[in-house]
Amino acid sequence: MSAFFSPFISKPEGVSLIMLKVLLALIPGIALYVWFFGSAILISITLASLTALGTEALMLKLRNRPISPFLKDNSALLTAWLLALSIPPLAPWWLVVVGTAFAISISKHLYGGLGNNPFNPAMIGYAVLIISFPLQMTHWITPHGLGQVELGFFDQLDYIFRGILPDGLKLDAVTMATPLDTLKTQLHMYGNINEIMNLPIYGHLAGQGSEWVATGFLLGGLYLLATRLISWHIPVAYLGTLFITAGLFHLADPAHYVTPLFHWFSGAAMIGAFFILTDPVSGPTTHKGKLIFAAGAGFITYLIRVFGGFPDGMAFATLLMNICVPLIDAYTQPKVFGKKGRLSDKNGGQA
Amino acid sequence: MLSALLVMLEIAVVLGAVLGFAAIKFRVEGNPMVDKIDAILPQTQCGQCGFPGCKPYATAIANGEADINLCPPGGEEGIHKLADLLGRDFVPYGGDIAPKPKSVAFIDENDCIGCTLCTQACPVDAIVGAAKQMHTIIAAECTGCELCVAPCPVDIISMIPIEETLTTWKWKYPIYALSPVK
Amino acid sequence: MRQLFKFHGGVHPPTHKEQSSQSPIAQAVLPSRLVVPLYQHIGNRAKPAVEVGQRVRKGQIIGMPEGSLSSAVHAPTSGTVAAIDMQQVAHASGMDDLCVTLIPDGQEEWIKREGMDYLSINKADIRFVLRMAGVVGLGGATFPSDQKLRPGKHKIKTVVLNGAECEPYITCDDLLMRERAEEIIQGAEIIRYMLDAEEVLIGIEDNKPEAIAAMRLAVNARPRSASADRMEVIAVPTLYPGGGAKQLIRVLTGIEVAAGVRSTDLGAQCFNVGTAYSIYRAIAHGEPLISRIVTVTGNVAQARNFEVLFGTPAHELVSQAAPLPDTNGYLMGGPMMGIRLPSEQVGIIKATNCIIAMSDVLFPPAPPALPCIRCTRCAEACPAELQPQELYWFAKAKNFDKARKYNLFDCIECGACSYVCPSHIPLVQYYRFAKSEIWDQESNQKAADAARVRHEYHEFREEREKREKAEKLAERDRAAQAAKAQKAAAPPTLPPAGEVANVSPCAAPADADPENTMQLKIQRAIEQAKLQAATTTPKNTEQLTPEQRAQIAAIEARRAHIHELASTSVEASSAMLVEANTEVKSQPPTQSPQE
């Protein structure tokens, strides 16, 4: 039986298809990730996905909700992928599981499930992990061609699940700090950007390898824009603010502040601009609101990166701006049809 | 230690003075709350809450002498509104008289003896008729309070529920289907 | 090339128009009976003007307009009135309403029809003719056209003729424009004359090239008038809901008409092409509105447009288009804004532009609704530039004040938001629900306010009556005492007490006391009132026939009996008090001072 009241037709594109397209858009970035850092990331993505679906099903069951329509909506998968992409691939398996389970159960379902979470679940998961397990969160794989030793797929598997490295190998030999982190510590020690940039871990714009991963996410983001799955407001405002803020500091003191492009292609800036901040549920809904939201996030990201204690500021910037969303929405309601101009204002008014 | 205490004391005194001043300066005559509550009550004047009208009930609520859930014609919506206004929690209806559908009184004019008892009982003067003349209800003004039913010596006043018509029909709350039927 | 304006949002649902636009308009077969609702327009229901069993002629008024906003209803053909009763009508509620059931006699015997030259009669008369011809907006809103042709305070610059027809499936305006363009243009001329407008802009969506060509031809074929009035056919982009009056006005003139604003105040007025055609038929040929073009399409083998008499039962119409066996329901209107017919028996009405046979293939069941993910696709699609996701939230939570603040009433219920919603939430349903709840609350509030005023007056009156009575009693006491005192002190030749007080207030010993003079004044006023009351006896008690007197006596006896029975109860005693009071009032004052 078709619907009882109009409209009787609807566009076929549903939530699950939208989420699926977003997942697809992550593929180029993930492919480059694998290319430069090995396939460990695939393990953590799989692990996170399974945990996410399991937690989702369990929570739906506990909340006495129908399970299949929500499992099929792909939103839990997206959270899982985003979280897996923001933690070190060599992190122990329980770290991934704990983070994902927390993201899905506490930050999504305790707030009412799909559509009701005030914070980005993936970023909540990340924030919990980096605060609770800061040490494990720093073991980033050295990019292809930089380290003395490279772990094979099964070695990685072994380490992730059992914490065992091949004989005689130390963790430090295969991991390193992120380019952003390195920059911060090196600045403290030596203090000159130009010298630091000559370190082998830096490539053309930012970190060796990671700059390419960021480019992959940029490509995926452009696909999202082209298919109108996201609007331009958030990526443009975020990257724009980050660029301008970084650019001003860089212009003022090039020796101590890196180029804006370094910021663009480092850390989670790209994936954040196109995939994380654009999460519709926890973001604002008005155009103006999106601009304010993303600009605020860009500014906070820069502040945390340069002056804060954490290696990257994306997650906390997102969460801080998530708090402001209801306020931003309330104050950026656009004028409606017929109530914009002077002419109609004169005659208009509330119905 | 002492200075901290002194500072706190000072703040207390200053704020107290400000509050006292405000209380005098912005003093409101009468009780505006009563009117606000009265505005929410449905004005049927039926007395089913146990008070002799809507205003007395409003006064009793404002004075904290009555609960907000005693008005049957106001329905749940009325309780919600009162709860919002007074910053209290919603409480389900707790009166003695079961809420009824909205009705209007009807006088069977053939048997009316013209005693005027109902006209005196009507709180909104919605019954016309003089002594020894038959009476009738002005349906548009009737609040459905039923106060005229009991006094009628010949028992000819009945309450007729107002039926929904094409023009008063309302769109229903959509059924929110979460689970597929299959 | 004229500059066109854009409206925000809009969607591109599949149009399915070719299905029914291939064949010319056909005359529908005369049905076996016609069920004509008397409430087919905005405003007041028409009042039945015929009786059961009466023979009516085609075009005869069967429902008279009532009140200023109403329209007449006519017999669609000649025949006999079989019933005037409540029947199910084509309405979303599926409820019954007053209908006239007519059994056609097949004679098609018309009433006397007289066309007129609109230039030779005054505008008020033209409006009256249209009102009595039952001409209402045929675009779906069915607003009485005579009211729309009333000159307002503002000068109307532009008349917009709506031939956009943006809803999928519907082609009735398309075919009307293709086949009867000249009449439409003549109707447009009448509209422009009535409103004194400068220009007529005819907006047609660019997916109807034949209609555009036919209309352009008709516009150019007009005799060149000296006034060089502008009339132009404009192809507008195909975009739902571009045929909404507000949207078309916006596209053609740039004017945005907000909710609660009349477009006439902004210098524009919009008419459907079908309405223009009916106006022309009513004025130039004296033909009332008794039929319209209806598209029958969807799950049928021979989709096409029919000229259908109002009241034709839906199934008798649809059967002429050969519905397919898996048909499981009928839509009236388009798939975006139409309603499901409550049954296939209901009659075609003035608002029926299309009947779509439904099947699960054409209209698959709606997927289960998921929660809103705030993706704002609805906001991107909303032609009223609303934030549907916020409105949905407020309507769902029954937070009506907030919904209103977020411009709920600017929603035109076009369904674009529901159409694009990836969570398949029936958004429009929520808005309709919220709107009708708000309307209901408003009328309740109005009633409550009126009741409050009446109650307060009631209390005031009771208070006043009590006070007056107390004063009267006090005065009587005083007068009696004064009389006693005077009787004791003065010679016995003095007139009775009442008269003393009346004629010689100055001589009274209490004169010096201001309170007493006050009392005396009041007393005098009361006496005067009593005198007045005595001279004017109640009209309805004089010259009673013996029967009436007997009736009254019977009632009095019954009453006395009741009082006897219930003399112990409180009610009865109060009733007796009332009796006593009324007795006092009805008697002349001269006899009652002692009571």
B114 and chain C: CB distance < 8 Å anywhere?
Answer: yes
Q: What's phi and psi for B157, nearest 5 deg?
A: -100, 125
Structural domain contains residue A338: no
Average pLDDT over residues C477-483: 89
Q: To probe the interface with C, which of B90, B166, B167, B173 has the most C CB atoms within 10 Å?
A: B166
Asked if A343 lies within 8 A of C246 by C-beta distance, the reply is no
Asked if C452 lies within 8 A of B43 by C-beta distance, the reply is yes
Q: C529: helix, coil or strand?
A: helix
Q: Are residues B67 and B109 in the same domain?
A: no
The least confident of B138-142, C303-307, C318-322, C564-568 is C564-568
Residue A190, pLDDT > 50, answer yes
Structural domain contains residue B135: yes
Q: What's the whole-number average pLDDT of chain C?
A: 85
What pLDDT is attached to residue B80? Answer: 85
From the list C313, C71, C88, the residue with the least C-alpha distance to C61 is C71
Q: Which residues contact A307 (CB under 8 A, 6 or more apart)?
A: none
Q: Is the dihedral of CA C275, C278, C282, C287 positive or negative?
A: negative
What pLDDT is attached to residue C511? Answer: 46
Q: Which residue of B has its CA nearest to A5?
A: B174
Predicted confidence band of residue B134 (pLDDT cuts 50, 70, 90): confident
Q: Where are the beta strands (DSSP E) in C344-389?
A: 354-358
What pLDDT is attached to residue C503? Answer: 46
List all residues of chain A from 278 to 317 with a beta carbon under 8 Å from chain C: 280-281, 283, 285-286
CB contact at 8 A, C528 and C498: no
If one compares B9 and C488, the residue with the highest pLDDT of the two is: B9
Cα separation of C325 and C316, whole Å? Answer: 16
Cα separation of A235 and A290, whole Å? Answer: 9
Q: Are residues A121 and A215 in the same domain?
A: no
- Tokens (6 digits) for C584: 């006092």
Angle between helical axes of B32-40 and B75-86 (0-180°, round to 10): 160
Q: Which of A125, A144, A176 is at the close of a domain?
A: A176
Cα separation of A57 and A67, whole Å? Answer: 6
Average pLDDT over residues B61-77: 85
List all residues of chain A from 57 to 76 with a beta carbon under 8 Å from chain C: 66, 69-70, 73, 75
Widest distance between CA atoms in chain A: 82
B124 and chain C: CB distance < 8 Å anywhere?
Answer: yes
Q: Where are the beta strands (DSSP E) in C376-471?
A: none
Q: Which residues contact C509 (CB under 8 A, 6 or more apart)?
A: none
Residues of chain C neighbouring B180 (CB-CB closer than 8 A): 367-368
Q: Are residues A172 and A266 in the same domain?
A: no
Q: Are residues A30 and A109 in the same domain?
A: yes
What pLDDT is attached to residue C501? Answer: 45
pLDDT tens for A217-244 read 999 999 999 999 999 999 999 999 999 9
From the list A300, A318, A290, the residue with the least C-alpha distance to A124 is A318
Q: To probe the interface with C, which of B46, B112, B171, B173 has the most C CB atoms within 10 Å?
A: B171
Residue C496, pLDDT > 60, answer no
Q: Which of A176, A201, A228 is at the close of a domain?
A: A176
- State the alpha helices, DSSP H only, in C285-415: 314-318, 377-381, 388-396, 400-405
pLDDT tens for C61-72 read 999 999 889 999
Q: Are residues B114 and B82 in the same domain?
A: no
CB contact at 8 A, B66 and B49: yes
Question: ω into residue C241 within 30 of 0, thus cis?
Answer: yes
Give the Å distances, CA to CA, from C529 to C409, C480, C498, C585, C589.
55, 20, 15, 11, 10
What pLDDT is attached to residue C522? Answer: 64
Structural domain contains residue A342: no
- Tokens (6 digits) for C379: 């906001």
Residue C154, pLDDT > 60, answer yes
Q: To probe the interface with A, which of C153, C261, C361 has the most A CB atoms within 10 Å?
A: C261
Residues of chain A neighbouring C337 (CB-CB closer than 8 A): 6-7
Instruction: Quote the minimal CA–CA distance from B78 to chain C in Å.
Output: 11
Cβ pairs A/B, distance under 8 A: 8
pLDDT tens for A26-72 read 999 999 999 988 888 999 999 999 999 999 999 999 998 888 888 88
Instruction: Quote the minimal CA–CA distance from A319 to chain C in Å.
Output: 17
Q: What is the ipTM of this complex?
A: 0.88
Structural domain contains residue A135: yes
Instruction: Quote the minimal CA–CA distance from A69 to chain B in Å.
Output: 7
Q: B138: domain CATH number?
A: 3.30.70.20
Dihedral, A346, A347, A348, A349 alpha carbons, nearest 10: 70
Q: Are residues B111 and B154 in the same domain?
A: yes
CB contact at 8 A, C329 and C318: no
Average pLDDT over residues C355-381: 91
Structural domain contains residue A9: no
Q: Are residues B108 and B153 in the same domain?
A: yes
Average pLDDT over residues A288-294: 96
CB contact at 8 A, C350 and A302: no
Q: Are residues A153 and A258 in the same domain?
A: no
Asked if B180 lies within 8 A of A66 by C-beta distance, the reply is yes
Question: How big is the CA angle at A17 (ends A11 and A21), to the nearest 5 degrees?
Answer: 125
The least confident of B63-67, B172-176, C111-115 is B172-176
Q: Are residues A197 and A279 in the same domain?
A: yes
Q: What's the whole-number average pLDDT of chain B?
A: 85
Q: Is the dihedral of CA C383, C389, C394, C396 positive or negative?
A: positive
If one compares A341 and A299, the residue with the highest pLDDT of the two is: A299
What pLDDT is attached to residue C191? Answer: 94
| The CATH classification of domain C18-29+112-358, taken from the options 3.20.10.10, 3.30.70.260, 3.40.50.11540, 3.40.50.300 | 3.40.50.11540
Q: Which of A176, A209, A232 is at the close of a domain?
A: A176
Cβ pairs A/C, distance under 8 A: 173
Residues of chain C neighbouring A70 (CB-CB closer than 8 A): 370
Residue A349, pLDDT > 50, answer no
Q: Which residue of A has its CA nearest to B172?
A: A5
Half-sphere exposure of C519 (CA within 13 A, CB side): 19
What pLDDT is attached to residue C566? Answer: 56
Residues of chain A neighbouring B180 (CB-CB closer than 8 A): 66, 68-69
Asked if A8 lies within 8 A of C258 by C-beta distance, the reply is no
Residues of chain B neighbouring A65 (CB-CB closer than 8 A): 178
Predicted confidence band of residue C547 (pLDDT cuts 50, 70, 90): confident
Q: Which of A17-31, A144-158, A179-193 has the highest mean pLDDT?
A: A17-31
Domains in chain C: boundaries: 18-29+112-358, 541-595
pLDDT tens for A57-113 read 999 999 988 888 888 889 999 999 999 999 998 889 999 999 999 999 999 999 999
Residue C593, pLDDT > 90, answer no
pLDDT tens for C202-241 read 999 999 999 999 999 999 888 776 455 689 999 999 999 9
Structural domain contains residue A340: no
What pLDDT is attached to residue C589? Answer: 40
Q: Are residues B42 and B79 in the same domain?
A: yes
Cα separation of A233 and A289, whole Å? Answer: 9
Cα separation of B106 and B137, whole Å? Answer: 6
Asked if A8 lies within 8 A of C420 by C-beta distance, the reply is no
What pLDDT is attached to residue B139? Answer: 87
Q: C232: helix, coil or strand?
A: strand
DSSP C119-181: GGS-HHHHHHHHHHTT-B-TTTT--BHHHHTS--SSPP-EEEEE----STT--HHHHHHHH-H
The least confident of A319-328, B116-125, C404-413, C512-521 is C512-521
Asked if B41 lies within 8 A of C448 by C-beta distance, the reply is yes
From the list B124, B128, B164, B130, the residue with the least C-alpha distance to B144 is B124
Residue A189, pLDDT > 80, answer no
Predicted confidence band of residue C579 (pLDDT cuts 50, 70, 90): very low
Q: Please, which chains are in contact with A (at least 3 CB pairs closer than 8 A)?
A: B, C
Instruction: Quote the minimal CA–CA distance from A83 to chain C in Å.
Output: 19
Give this prediction's pTM.
0.82
A69 and chain B: CB distance < 8 Å anywhere?
Answer: yes
Q: Which among A8, A70, A333 has CB closest to C387?
A: A333
Residues of chain A neighbouring B179 (CB-CB closer than 8 A): 66, 69
- Measured from the Cβ of residue C489, the count of other Cβ atoms closer than 10 Å reads 9
Structural domain contains residue A349: no
Any bridge partners for residue C322, and if so which?
A: none
CB contact at 8 A, A276 and A268: yes
Residue C500, pLDDT > 80, answer no
Instruction: Tell me which H or E stretch contains B65.
Output: none
Q: Are residues A252 and A297 in the same domain?
A: yes
Instruction: Quote the minimal CA–CA distance from B129 to chain A in Å.
Output: 41
What pLDDT is attached to residue A160? Answer: 84
The least confident of A166-175, A180-189, A283-292, C303-312 is A166-175
Q: Are residues A203 and A225 in the same domain?
A: yes
Q: A285: helix, coil or strand?
A: coil
Q: Are residues A202 and A71 in the same domain?
A: no
Give the residue numbers spanning the domain of B144: 103-161
Average pLDDT over residues C474-485: 89
Q: Which residues contact A338 (CB under 8 A, 6 or more apart)?
A: A344, A348, C246, C256, C257, C258, C259, C261, C410
List all residues of chain B from 60 to 89 with a beta carbon under 8 Å from chain C: none
% of chain B at pLDDT higher than 90: 12
Domain count, chain A: 2
Domain count, chain B: 2
Structural domain contains residue B20: no
What pLDDT is attached to residue C261? Answer: 87
Instruction: Quote the minimal CA–CA distance from C27 to chain A in Å.
Output: 29
Q: Are residues B107 and B82 in the same domain?
A: no
Q: Which among C256, C333, C376 has CB closest to A338?
A: C256
Specify burial of residue C204 (Cβ count, 10 A radius: 0-12, 13-18, 19+). buried
Q: Are residues A80 and A42 in the same domain?
A: yes
Residue C507, pLDDT > 70, answer no
Q: Are residues A168 and A199 in the same domain?
A: no
The least confident of A198-207, C9-18, C568-577 is C568-577
Structural domain contains residue A347: no
- Tokens (6 digits) for A303: 């502040």
What pLDDT is attached to residue C585? Answer: 41
Give the residue numbers spanning the domain of A230: 177-333
Q: Which among C360, C370, C419 has CB closest to A10?
A: C419
Instruction: Tell me which H or E stretch contains C292.
Output: strand C291-298
Q: B38: domain CATH number?
A: 1.10.15.40
Q: Which residue of C has its CA nearest to B112?
A: C555
Q: Are residues A66 and A212 in the same domain?
A: no
Q: Are residues A141 and A184 in the same domain?
A: no
What pLDDT is attached to residue A78? Answer: 96
Asked if C578 lies within 8 A of B180 by C-beta distance, the reply is no
Amino acid (one-letter) located at C546: P
Instruction: Quote the minimal CA–CA distance from C106 to chain B in Å.
Output: 32
Give the Å distances, CA to CA, from C500 to C34, C302, C309, C524.
82, 101, 84, 12
Any bridge partners for residue A140, and if so which?
A: A176
Instruction: Quote the minimal CA–CA distance from C158 to chain A in Å.
Output: 17
What pLDDT is attached to residue A70? Answer: 86
A256 and chain B: CB distance < 8 Å anywhere?
Answer: no
If one compares C396 and A345, the residue with the highest pLDDT of the two is: C396
Structural domain contains residue A48: yes
Residue A135, pLDDT > 90, answer no
Q: What's the whole-number average pLDDT of chain A?
A: 88
